[in-house]
Structure 1
Amino acid sequence: MNGHRKLTLYEYQTKLRQIQEHRSPKSNKFHTPQQKVNFGSPKTQIVSKKQEQRLFSDRSTSTYQNLNLPFSSKIPKFSKLQSLDEESKQSETLIKHQIVEQKSSKQEGIDKLRIQLNEQFLKESSCNRAGACLQFLEPTLVHNLLNLSPKVKINSGLRASISSKDLNGNTALHFAARNGNTHLVQALLYKEIQIDEQNEDKMTPLLLSAYYGKLETLQILVNVGANINHQDIHGNSALHYACKFNFKSIVQFLLQKESVVLLKNLDQKYPDYYIEDSEIAQIFKDYLEQSKKKQTKEVTIQTIQTETILKMFQRKNVKQIKNLIKTSKSQNNLDKIQESSPKVKQLQTKLQQLEQFKTQMQGLKRQTTFSTNYSESCKNLKDEEETSLSQFQILGLIGKGSFGQVYLVKRLNQFYAMKVLDKTMILKHNLFRYAQTERNVLSVTSHPFIVKLRYAFQTSDKLIMILDFCPGGDMGQLLEEKKRLPEELVKNYICEVILALEDLHQRDIIYRDLKPENIVIDADGHAMLTDFGLSKEGIFDANQGAKSFCGSVAYLAPEMLKRQGHGKAVDWYLLGVVMYELLVGVPPYYDNEKEQLFHNIENAILKIPSYISSEGRNLIKSLLQRNPIKRLGSGVGDSKEIKQHPYFSDVDWVKVKNKELELPKPTRKIRIDTQASHNLFQPEHLELSSHVNGWSYVHTEF
């Protein structure tokens, strides 16, 4: 059998029928090789490309060797089944416990073989070999596959289980969906495999189809009833992944389904938050407009029906009340009115309830006239009203960039760093997404070695973030003074940076801009990551997920230069670069000419000074591995691989996280420009055209 050929369900059934037809109709035995000559056996010959390949072969050929069965060396042991079968017929005089012992031994061998069949079944499905995979589900084909004697009766239980799972909880349907193998998906569904089975990451086959952009398998799964709104361990749905990885056809298909629901993931993000493609953005925009019109129409119809019923109810009961009042003029009917008064009160109460319901429906109708924002979880407007520029005393300018400035400010005797971004410049250079990314990342993290965002608000022309103030400056400034740092001190800093990156990676965020200038030192001397404009959310793999070319020139990883895509492993390369620079004084491969620098990063030999410890040199080499797949930290363990390196064998990571390492407290003075803050004291005029939705933030854990 050609193990790499994709079989349709029809071909698979045809082959099964062919194998069954090889059997004698009156017996349970296969024909002998001599009797099978008439059926023809494949021969080694050159065939044209148009000639159809045979799907399966007879046992007499060696084609089954292509399956690379892991248990092939153990197959001879299964011949015990035949001997046990013969012995069972000749052992009627043996005592009962010997028979039981033989049967249990036989069953044990079958159970072990079933486990091996399950493993091979999953392996073939993982390798996208549909034909080889499906053979393990049929006892007849398994009997042939194991090359058992025709005299041995076929064991109906000797086959792989359709519900087999690997160590990560994946079924054959997970692999088929991931690989986009429609034939195998159809065959497995025909075998009644569970369509919404979850692996360890709570991903279903449908989610994997969306994650890898396999439209055809996703359509099959949706059409047979797979849960289109299932969310994985990160809270992401199929629509999240389709938007994230720019799979336009999948987004279009999912949004056409009435059952699809726009859900938030664990980071409180709706699917369209991750859209970067303009065509997908337009598809989503059209969907939202249609949904809005549909909802408005439904509410209008419901409101009209309610108002009609209300009017009918009011007319009916007003008439009743008037009749009661009219009869009250008669003394003879006074008792009747007193008896009816509870009914009048009940009617009046009912009228009030309907009036309230009418008011609610009118409110709902008004609500649908506003544009619905699915991209960002809205903050209470009260936060924005409570936090404003006037509440902070601006002491002076302490840093300046191309599109904003950083000021030292004071509020309630507490010092903060205020980052001010100019809206006009950001929109002009299309940099708003970077500002929004930094605000989003800082709002979801709360780590001892990541600068905390305390407030975020805006004026008519500025976006403002209030961050913790770190008086020690950044490590770039420290290097300018010290030229290079002692290895023990660098080791402590690196430990703290590892824990910060670990926290980001656990949230599926990559940093991408690790360099000495982005590591600031707090009042106690600890390293703190700052400036998250180039970070990327929703990255789950070590080597893929992000495609943008970004970063500082001297700190670009090889995979970034090759533009081959990158993932979490890029941060571990940059960790090696920073460690090298802190110890040596310059980045590895550094050159004043950009082209030569890029050439060095991709091709030059790494030279590490001998004054660095041997374990430190080994760690740097492992982190600066050009192949991201081989790089330390690129495995499933991520940061654990690095923390387990011999260089950190004496490190108490709990002590590190609790900020118990002894580090030199900063003594350098911060330069403050007190003349550069007068232009910020302009009146705040929030205009609808310049207002940025979802920007406001207040940190509650002080």
Structure 2
Amino acid sequence: MNSHRKLTLSEYQTKQRQIHEHRSPKSNKFHTPQQKININSPKIQITPKQQKPKPFSDRSISINLNLNFPFPSKISKLTKLQSLDEETKQCESKNQQLTIEQKSPKQEGIDKLRSQLNEQFLKESSCNRAGACLQFLEPSIVHNMLNLSPKVKVNSDLRASVTSRDLNGNTALHFAAKNGNIHLVQALLYKDIQIDTQNEDKMTPLLLSAYYGKLETLQILVNLGANINHQDIHGNTSLHYACKYNFKSIVEFLLQKQHLILLQNHDQKYPNFYIEDTEIAQIFADYLEQSNQKRTKEVIILNTQTETILKMFQRRNIKQIKKFIQTSKSQNNLDLIQESTPKIKQLQTKLQQLEQFKTQLQAFKKQITFSTKYSESCKNLKENEEIQLSQFQILGLIGKGSFGQVYLVKKQNQLYAMKVLDKIMILKHNLFRYAQTERNVLSVTSHPFIVKLRYAYQTSDKLIMILDYCPGGDMGQLLEDVKRLPEEQVKNYICEIILALEDLHQRDIIYRDLKPENIVIDADGHAMLTDFGLSKEGIFDANQGARSFCGSVAYLAPEMLKRQGHGKAVDWYLLGVVMYELLVGVPPYYANEKEQLFHNIENAVLKIPSYISPEGRNLIKSLLQRNPIKRLGSGVGDSKEIKQHPYFQDVDWEKVINKELQFTIPTRKIKINTQVGQNLFENEQVELSSHIQGWSYVHTDF
């Protein structure tokens, strides 16, 4: 079998038309004898994009781009056949006399030829040659390629299969999508190729289009019904890849689709976690805001309609039940009462179902309560009060992190802690959502044992939060000095922390980052929770509602390590960890190696020192229960279960909330670098181009 010159798409279409018009192959200008060459081609290595990093989650796309299957110039005896149909019939008649496992040499030759056609078909698609690829799907063109006589009837089965795959499970549509070949994609879909076929990495053609930034092929696939929410072997969707590799146009296109669902990958990361481009971050933020507004409107409409339906059904069913009973009594007919009993039970069942539905609706309404609250909290900004940077005198630097600093500032003789975040850095590393979460949580809470947010404002490149200053430092620093604390002092601290967590849980917020470093000590020695970046709002259940893997290594709950989902009960586990560390000096299950630490948290026996009171040991054991369902505080009562524990039987919770417990006044001196920060905001002005909506805030309760 002789080869031919590689066809373009237009040449392929012309040749197909000529064959259908019964023109002689020898008259075909694309197949003159002088143009025929060996179809055996050298190896073609298609190198993937050099500038693209390997996909995240330690994955590497293993698409076979080096298809080197020789296409023999001749198949023994095939050119001597007078008719492929006659040969096929002879093979079929002989096969009836052979066993199922045996095949005739002729049939094996045909099967081998089909296999070679499939291999060459995939090779041409990987090399991005649409015309040369598609000709292998046409029996009439394959007939000509075999150099068979026009008198021989075309065998309709002698062609490549559109469903053929390479060693890694890729189809021709995978290659066409990866190469951005819109003509080949359209032609293959016209040939009824499966649009959501998965390769060994569970990647569909749509995912490859997103990964390589091929907008046009992605649009074709989505518009023709490709699954936009499909996840590959690592749980990544097309939106994950578009966000990761900064394909702005693809992100915009995907976010416009109504059936798009924001999913987490196997690392518990949503697509916007990987955004580094500021424009894409803003597009995503606008999308989330619009989605919130739309969902709020839908809930209001649903609420109105449902309450009307509930009232209508309740009135109707109650009337029917009363009518049955009154009719039965008036006629003094016991049989009628017995006959109506099933109907009454049926109506009562319907009422119960309606009540359950009403309960679910109320839970759904609660889900948007938090977002509504903190949206309304933005209105606390006084219209007549401008926040001026010049109002605050910077005294010095008291803390520093990777993306911001904390300064001691003074306004009207009042000391505050000023947290300054770099906009560019937090957007580049996709940390804005953590800053926004902290600002939102602090704007809706006003609790004696939670650090208050007094002001929030921004400059052209910085986000600023003015918080209460706690001169006693944090409990992590306190433990460094004293190693461990007396049990009575720890008990008082734990009481205050319980009330702070109780307030958060009542607002359907979980803290998730309780540790000594996040508990600061105010001027009177009281415990105050701070740093709410890892908090999660909209959590109604004790054991589920959140799935992110977050927190400090030594303070991870078992359900967090198992990634089975978590809820409010995770905070009570962390309360047990903190209580243990304050009393003992190290967290429970502590180990220097991370792997050993994780193993201990999930499997090791809990060892509690005997110098802790029996009630204290029992409380710690109840809080550190590995099964969140059995953990103290996981029931409906939440914090009430813990406050009712025998360890707190002598505690007057009214005195706790009123800050009447006695603590030692902190004398620890915080190091202040007075050489830093004096010129921090020189030439800074708020620019509309970098302005983040909904950040500014002024606390009105002074």
TM-score, normalised via structure 2 length: 0.51
Q: CA deviation at 1:173?
A: 3.7
- Counterpart of 2:113? none
Q: 1:277-296 counterparts in 2 under 5 A?
A: none
Change (3 A) 1:528 1:381: closer
Partner of 2:352: 171
**Aligned-partner Cα distance in 1 for 2:344–2:516:** 55
Give the superposition deviation at 1:153: 8.2
Change (3 A) 1:618 1:155: same
Residues 674 and 164 of structure 1, relative CA distance in 2, 3 Å threshold: farther
CA distance in 2, matches of 1:403, 1:476: 21
- Deviation of 1:400 (Å): 1.0
Which residue matches 2:435? Answer: 435
Q: C-alpha distance in 2, partners of 1:380/1:554?
A: 38
**Residues 510 and 537 in structure 1, CA contact (< 8 A), matched pair in contact too:** yes
Q: Which residue of 2 aligns with 1:252?
A: none
Q: Quick one: structure 1 residues 461 and 163, their matched pair in 2 at CA, closer, same or farther if it must change by over 3 Å?
A: farther
Which position in structure 1 is the counterpart of 2:539? 539
Q: 1:268 aligns with which of 362, 372, 381?
A: 372
Task: Report the counterpart of residue 470 of structure 1 in structure 2.
Answer: 470
Does structure 1 retain, via aligned residues, the 8 Å contact 2:380–2:698? no
Aligned counterpart, 1:402: 402
Q: Is the 8 A contact 1:543 1:629 kept in 2?
A: yes
After superposition, the Cα gap between the structure-2 partners of 1:418 and 1:162, relative to the gap in structure 1 and judged at 3 Å, is: farther
Q: Is the 8 A contact 2:420 2:462 kept in 1?
A: yes
Name the residue aligned to 2:563.
563
CA change 1:601–1:679 in 2 (3 A) is: farther
Q: Write the distance in 1 (CA, Å) between the matches of 2:426 and 2:337.
A: 76
Relative to structure 1, the CA distance from residue 163 to residue 383 in structure 2 (aligned partners, 3 Å threshold; closer, same or farther) is farther
Cα distance in 2 for residues equivalent to 1:548 and 1:555: 15
CA contact (8 A) 2:381 2:698 kept: no
**3-state SS of the aligned residue for 1:440?**
helix
What is the CA distance between 1:678 and its match in structure 2?
A: 3.2
- The alignment status of 1:391 with 2:572, answered yes or no, reads no
Structure 1 contact 267–444 (Cα < 8 Å) conserved: no
| Structure-2 residue corresponding to 1:580 | 580
Q: Is the CA contact 1:383–1:696 (under 8 Å) kept in the aligned structure 2?
A: no
Listed one character per residue, the Cα deviations across residues 89-124 of structure 1 (whole Å, up to 9, x for unaligned) are xxxxxxxxxxxxxxxxxxxxxxxxxxxxxxxxxxxx
Match of 1:597 in 2: 597
Note if 1:554 corresponds to 2:554.
yes
Q: Distance in 1 between matches of 2:496 and 2:338?
A: 62
- 1:653 is matched with 653
After superposition, what is the alpha-carbon deviation per residue over 1:279-312, rounded to whole angstroms, capped at 9, x for unaligned?
Answer: xxxxxxxxxxxxxxxxxxxxxxxxxxxxxxxxxx
Q: Is the 8 A contact 2:547 2:564 kept in 1?
A: yes
One-letter amino acid of the structure 2 residue matched with residue 516 of structure 1: P
Question: Which of 140, 156, 163 is the equivalent residue of 2:340?
Answer: 156
Distance in 1 of aligned mates of 2:349 and 2:690: 53
Give the distance between the partners of 1:491 and 1:378, measured in 2 at CA: 37
Is 1:483 the counterpart of 2:483? The answer is yes
* Deviation (angstroms), 1:513: 0.3
> Any idea what SS the aligned residue of 1:171 has?
helix
Change (3 A) 1:474 1:383: farther
Deviation at 1:268, TM superposition (A): 2.1
What do residues 333-361 of structure 1 show as CA deviations (whole Å, max 9, x unaligned)? xxxxxxxxxxxxxxxxxxxxxxxxxxxxx
Q: Which residue of 2 aligns with 1:456?
A: 456
Q: Distance in 2 between matches of 1:521 and 1:382?
A: 30
Which amino acid in structure 2 is aligned with residue 674 of structure 1?
T
Deviation of 1:390 (Å): 1.4
Whole-Å separation in 2 of the counterparts to 1:602 and 1:522: 35
Paired residues of 1:398 and 1:407 also in contact (CA < 8 A):
yes
Task: Give the SS at the match of 1:396.
Answer: strand
Counterpart amino acid of residue 466 in structure 1: I
Counterpart residue identity of residue 564, structure 2: Q
Change over 3 Å in CA distance of 1:553–1:151 after alignment to 2: same
- For structure 2, the residue ranges without an aligned partner over 5 or more in a row are 1-320, 325-333
SS of 1:395's partner is strand
- 2:691 aligns with 691
- Structure 1 CA distance, aligned partners of 2:406 and 2:642? 34
The residue that corresponds to 1:668 in the other structure is 668
Q: Deviations over 1:634-663 (max 9, x none)?
A: 000000000000000000000000000011
* 2: CA distance, partners of 1:380 / 1:490: 36
- Structure 2 equivalent of residue 228 of structure 1: none
Alpha carbons 1:555, 1:574 under 8 Å: kept: yes
| Contact 1:376–1:694 under 8 Å retained in 2 | no
Query: 1:165–1:460: structure 2 CA closer, same or farther, 3 Å change rule?
Result: farther
Whole-angstrom distance in 2 between the partners of 1:455 and 1:163? 56
Q: CA deviation at 1:686?
A: 1.6
**Aligned: 1:510 with 2:510:** yes
Equivalent residue number for residue 423 of structure 1? 423
Match of 1:578, SS state, is helix
The answer for unaligned runs of 5 or more in structure 1 is: 1-136, 141-149, 178-197, 212-231, 241-264, 271-374
Letter in 2 for 1:156: S
How does 1:118-137 map onto structure 2 within 5 Å? none
The AA in structure 1 aligned to 2:341 is G
Structure 1 residues 594, 679: closer, same or farther in 2, change over 3 A? farther
Distance 1:383 1:408, change over 3 A: farther
C-alpha displacement at 1:155, in angstroms?
3.6
- Rounded Cα–Cα distance in structure 2 between residues aligned with 1:153 and 1:460: 77
Determine if contact 2:524/2:665 at 8 Å carries over to the other structure: yes
What's the offset of the Cα at 1:388? 2.4
Against the structure 1 CA distance between its residues 161 and 681, is the aligned structure 2 distance closer, same or farther, given a 3 Å change threshold?
Answer: same
> Aligned partner of 1:630: which letter?
K
CA–CA distance in structure 1, aligned partners of residues 651 and 382 of structure 2: 46
Counterpart CA distance in 2 for 1:420 and 1:622 is 39
**Shift in Å at residue 536 of structure 1?**
0.5
**Which one-letter code corresponds to 1:468 in the other structure?**
D
5 Å matches for 1:212-361? 232=365, 234=366, 236=367, 240=368, 265=369, 267-268=371-372
Secondary structure in 1 aligned to 2:406?
A: strand
Give the SS at the match of 1:654.
helix
How far off is 1:151 after superposition?
A: 9.7
1:223-267 CA-partner distances (Å, limit 9, x unpaired) = xxxxxxxxx4x3x5xxx4xxxxxxxxxxxxxxxxxxxxxxxx365
CA RMSD of aligned residues (A): 2.7
Cα distance change of structure 1 residues 572 and 382 upon mapping to structure 2, 3 Å threshold:
closer
How far the C-alpha of 1:551 sits from its partner, in A, is 0.4
Contact residue 379 and residue 694 of structure 1 kept, 8 A: no
CA distance in 2, matches of 1:153, 1:496: 59
Q: Which residue of 1 aligns with 2:199?
A: none
Matching of residues 592-631 of structure 1 within 5 Å: 592-631=592-631
Distance 1:381 1:683 in 2: 24
1:681 alignment partner in structure 2: 681
1:471 counterpart SS class: coil
SS at match of 1:386: coil
Using a 3 Å threshold, how does the CA distance of structure 1 residues 701 and 165 change in structure 2: closer, same or farther? farther
Aligned partner of residue 621 in structure 1, secondary structure: helix
Distance 1:389 1:440 in 2: 22
User: How many residues align structurally?
Assistant: 373
Q: Which residue of 1 aligns with 2:641?
A: 641
Go from structure 1 to structure 2 and tell me whether the alpha carbon gap of 1:554 and 1:679 turns closer, same or farther (over 3 Å shift). Answer: farther
1:147-178 Cα distance to aligned partner (Å, 9 max, x none): xxx99984423555456489xxx822455x6x
Secondary structure (helix, strand or coil) at the match of 1:678 reads coil
Q: Distance between the aligned counterparts of 1:602 and 1:415, measured in 2?
A: 44
1:541-574 Cα distance to aligned partner (Å, 9 max, x none): 0001111110000000000011111000000000
Alignment check: 8 A CA contact 2:377 2:444 kept = no
By how many angstroms is 1:389 displaced? 1.8
